[in-house]
Structure 1
Amino acid sequence: MYLSTEKKQEIFANQGFQKNPGDTGSAESQIALFTYRISHLTEHLKAHKHDYSTRLGLLKLVGKRRRLLNYLQQKDISRYRAIIADLNLRK
């Protein structure tokens, strides 16, 4: 896959609000990873407009990220606002 373990750890450390060094499953970490993958796929689709299978995968990722954001908004609004501000997401 295009995303190495080192790159994932860097994403989790920089944007994921890790609670401890091995924390990869928190909502913030997953949202940060999904955001990175979404931006990568968006760039790919700008060059390959007719790649419909990638477009479907992108839409599924956006839906997963949206569900995680909704969960985080219901559980802890301050964490939700922090991740939205940090990743420059809008709703």
Structure 2
Amino acid sequence: MALDSAKKAEIVAKFARKPGDTGSTEVQIALLSTRISELTEHLKIYKKDFSSRLGLLKLVGKRKRLLTYLKRKNYQSYTKIISELGLRDK
């Protein structure tokens, strides 16, 4: 279920703060969101794949923690990333 390198590089380039930035909160959230959407599509087909479902729940929790951190530290960047990714704000 890993992302291919071309797609990953495209996401990193889009959300990076500066060239060469691969670990910022924004990039991590974008990569997690892509993996979450792919796993969701997988689970629509394979409904009894419980190990993948557990992995999906872990990814959603990690993304939620990162979004909470980003909201606390840089609200402007938080609003930008949730609008670009189409995520909901509580």
TM-score range, shorter chain: over 0.9
Are residue 82 (structure 1) and residue 80 (structure 2) matched?
Answer: yes
Question: Sequence identity, in percent?
Answer: 60
Q: Which amino acid aligns with 2:13?
A: A
| Counterpart selection for 1:61 from 48, 59, 65 | 59
Summarize deviations over 1:29-79 as a string: whole Å, max 9, x none.
Answer: 000000000000000000000000000000000000000000000001111
Aligned to 2:42, the other structure's residue is in SS state helix
> TM-score normalised to the size of structure 2?
0.93
| Aligned residue pairs, count | 89
Give the gaps of 5 or more residues in structure 2: none
Are residue 8 (structure 1) and residue 8 (structure 2) matched?
Answer: yes
Worse overlay, 5-14 or 46-55: 5-14
Equivalent runs, 1:4-83 vs 2, <5 Å: 4-14=4-14, 16=15, 18-83=16-81
The 3 A distance-change label for structure 1 pair 2 and 73 is closer
Give the gaps of 5 or more residues in structure 1: none
C-alpha displacement of 1:2: 3.9
